[in-house]
Amino acid sequence: MKYKTLRDFVSETGETIEYESYIIPDDMLEEGQLRLLDTDTSIVVPVDTHIRFLVTANDVIHCFTIPSLGIKLDATPGRLNQVSALIQRTGVYYGQCSELCGVNHALMPIKLECVSINDFIE
């Protein structure tokens, strides 16, 4: 999956934060990592802060789902959907695409890390 922040974090040169996140293959998993859920890059958000997720898709309908946070939002090409969250506990939250979106549907996990505000600023 490809993630991009919008206006909230813009550098002095006008650049935004953008990164890609991929599933960790079974043969590269380390002790404690979850098969089919762990990714090489996480979404990192601060605790006790209102977060707004803006979700869209480039190709087919996907579904941005993090069940433990109660978030399930369709990602539809040509549409911009949003949902808000206030996470009050630090930790790692896992989700995945919950739409039958194609051949790699099972390989689209989401890993969100909620950290203290000081850790987030660093």
Q: Is the pLDDT of residue 71 over 80?
A: yes
Percent of the chain with pLDDT over 70: 89
pLDDT tens by residue, 31-43: 988 888 899 888 8
Task: Give the amino acid at 4.
Answer: K
Q: Is the pLDDT of residue 19 over 90?
A: no
Name which of 105, 100, 113 is nearest 42 in CA terms.
113
pTM of the model: 0.82
Q: Is the pLDDT of residue 55 over 60?
A: yes
Name which of 113, 109, 118 is nearest 51 in CA terms.
113
Pairing of strands 109-115, 43-46: parallel
Strand order in the sheet with 62-66: 43-46, 109-115, 91-97, 62-66, 71-75
Total of domains in the chain: 1
Residue 46 belongs to domain spanning: 2-121
> Looking at residue 19, which CATH number applies to its domain?
2.60.40.420
| Amino acid 46: pLDDT | 93
